[in-house]
């Protein structure tokens, strides 16, 4: 089936399939129309469990909002009329992003409330407000702000749909509407609502494409295309339902760098994305250089601290692993909402560092604490980490404890 973007004489080819979706709790049925290449095969649309850490890397670094793990080509057409950025949006967005990475949730929320008041009929304010709640949930691996997130993201979508129908030439309107659909799609991935997640992802892609069609110099959008090109290539062998695609990882990295260098708002999140990409590529020195940039600016951001610790672990820098994880653990414990699973992973990393430094008793102490905490964990109130899920982390705890036990008996 050929879909035409009417105003621009540009075509996108999307093979499609219509299927019936059944809701198990209500019994409701509805027909769903999706591109054929987005549908799962008859086996599973979940990632292969052996490669789950690679899949989980996707789920965090998508705050600016162009999050699409789908397939199609990016059209290129002449530049057309658009609405521009303003000093007001620049200052408020930059301030809010800085505040959130400095763990100032209330201040960041207040900043984006100003953005909502400045542009009440535009999705931009509610998009960023949803972003702060989602980022805090993921930073601390909690669900405390789930309701606030859902309220804000649904408002962003409602307002964005109305706005883009009335303002068809505003590239930023489509940009933030696409970002909002991508955001909600990722949330639905975490909720295991697979079909709805893919529908949202597809809508996000189409709106993001429209924004670049209308404004080719909208460099922030290339953050999303960079994520798409890199992770689609990186995950081809992991997610069984994705078709074989050419290796576009380098292209994706270059697009993210372009967004960092020339975009208005993608700089910080682009650096977080590059850090994770280099980690996934086992380029740990490059990952640490990016993390140094983030750590200097946001020394208490849990995400920056966590990845710093994991990079040190890969580099076998045990003393820095120890001190960084101690800082991370203190940061997590100072927050009112706490993830037991995250605490357990910190105890495991501390145990690894102590073990490698020859401090077996301290290592075993942290492993005992981890196993005791496991009894208190309620997985319904927690999110998984970006690298391994909790079951894998706890398996590592038990293996290290057994190893130290065996060493002490000799």
Which helix (H) or strand (E) segment holds residue 34: the answer is: strand 29-35
CB count in 10 Å sphere of residue 402? 11
Domain spans in the chain, listed from the N-terminal domain onward: 2-288, 315-409
For residues 308 and 349, the answer to whether their CB atoms sit within 8 Å is no
Q: What does the pLDDT read at residue 85?
A: 59
Arithmetic mean of pLDDT, 246-253: 89
pLDDT band at 205 (very low <50, low <70, confident <90, very high): confident
Average model confidence (pLDDT) across the chain: 79
Q: What does the pLDDT read at residue 35?
A: 44
Three-state DSSP class for residue 11 = strand
* CB-neighbour burial class of residue 122 (10 A; exposed 0-12, middle 13-18, buried 19+): buried
Reported as half-sphere exposure (CB side, CA atoms, 13 A), residue 98 has a value of 8
Arithmetic mean of pLDDT, 244-251: 82
Residue 238 has pLDDT above 50, yes or no: yes
CA distance 340 to 361: 23
pLDDT band at 185 (very low <50, low <70, confident <90, very high): confident
| Most trustworthy range by pLDDT among 119-123, 296-300, 346-350 | 346-350
The angle that helices 390-409 and 360-373 make with each other, rounded to 10 degrees, is: 140
Is the Cα dihedral 125, 126, 129, 130 positive or negative?
negative
For residues 345 and 306, the answer to whether their CB atoms sit within 8 Å is no
Arithmetic mean of pLDDT, 311-338: 97
Q: What does the pLDDT read at residue 188?
A: 80
Q: What does the pLDDT read at residue 72?
A: 29
Could you write out the DSSP letters of every residue in 315-374?
A: HT-HHHHHHHHHHHHHHHHTSSS--HHHHHHHHHHHHHHHHHTT-HHHHHHHHHHHHHHG
Quote helix, strand, coil % in the chain, to nearest 5: 65, 5, 30
Arithmetic mean of pLDDT, 185-205: 79
Q: What does the pLDDT read at residue 21?
A: 43
Q: Per-residue pLDDT tens for 308-320? A: 999 999 999 999 9
Q: What does the pLDDT read at residue 263?
A: 86
Q: What does the pLDDT read at residue 242?
A: 52
Q: What does the pLDDT read at residue 148?
A: 95
Arithmetic mean of pLDDT, 209-222: 89
Q: What does the pLDDT read at residue 38?
A: 38
Reported as half-sphere exposure (CB side, CA atoms, 13 A), residue 121 has a value of 7
Selection from 113, 146, 117, 141 nearest residue 129 by Cα = 113
């Amino acid at each position: 089936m050929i879909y035409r973007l009417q105003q621009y004489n540009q075509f996108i080819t999307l093979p499609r399939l219509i299927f019936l979706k059944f809701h198990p709790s209500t019994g409701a049925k509805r027909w769903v129309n999706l591109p054929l290449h987005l549908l799962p095969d008859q086996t599973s649309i979940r990632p292969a469990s052996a490669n789950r850490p690679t899949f989980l890397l996707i789920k965090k670094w998508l705050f600016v909002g162009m999050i699409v793990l789908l397939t199609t080509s990016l059209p290129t057409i002449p530049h057309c009329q658009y609405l521009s950025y303003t000093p007001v949006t620049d200052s408020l967005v930059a301030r809010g992003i800085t505040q959130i990475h400095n763990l100032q949730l209330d201040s960041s929320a207040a900043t984006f409330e100003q953005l909502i008041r400045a542009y009440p009929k535009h999705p931009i304010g509610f998009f960023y407000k949803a972003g702060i709640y989602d980022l805090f949930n993921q930073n601390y691996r909690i669900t405390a702000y789930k309701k606030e997130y859902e309220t804000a993201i649904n408002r962003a979508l409602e307002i964005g749909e109305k706005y883009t129908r009335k303002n068809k030439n505003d590239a930023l309107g489509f940009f933030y509407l696409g970002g909002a659909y991508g955001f909600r799609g990722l949330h639905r991935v975490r909720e295991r609502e697979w079909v709805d997640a893919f529908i949202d992802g597809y809508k996000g892609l189409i709106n993001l494409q429209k924004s670049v069609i209308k404004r080719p110099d909208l460099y922030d959008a290339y953050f999303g295309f960079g994520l798409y090109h890199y992770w689609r290539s990186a995950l081809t062998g992991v997610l069984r339902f994705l078709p074989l695609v050419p290796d576009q990882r380098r292209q994706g990295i270059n697009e993210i760098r372009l967004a960092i260098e020339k975009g208005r708002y993608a700089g910080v999140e682009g650096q977080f994305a590059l850090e994770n990409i280099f980690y996934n590529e086992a380029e740990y020195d490059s990952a640490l250089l990016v993390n140094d940039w983030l750590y200097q600016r946001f020394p208490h951001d849990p995400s920056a601290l966590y990845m710093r610790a994991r990079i040190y672990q890969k580099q076998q820098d045990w003393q820095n692993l120890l001190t960084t994880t101690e800082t991370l653990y203190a940061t997590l414990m100072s927050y009112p909402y706490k993830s037991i699973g995250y605490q357990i992973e910190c105890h495991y990393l501390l145990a690894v560092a102590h073990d490698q430094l020859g401090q077996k008793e301290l290592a075993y102490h942290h492993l005992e604490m981890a196993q005791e905490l496991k009894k208190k964990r309620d997985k319904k109130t927690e999110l998984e980490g970006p690298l391994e899920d909790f079951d894998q982390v706890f398996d590592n705890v038990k293996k290290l404890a057994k190893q130290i036990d065996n060493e002490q008996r000799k």
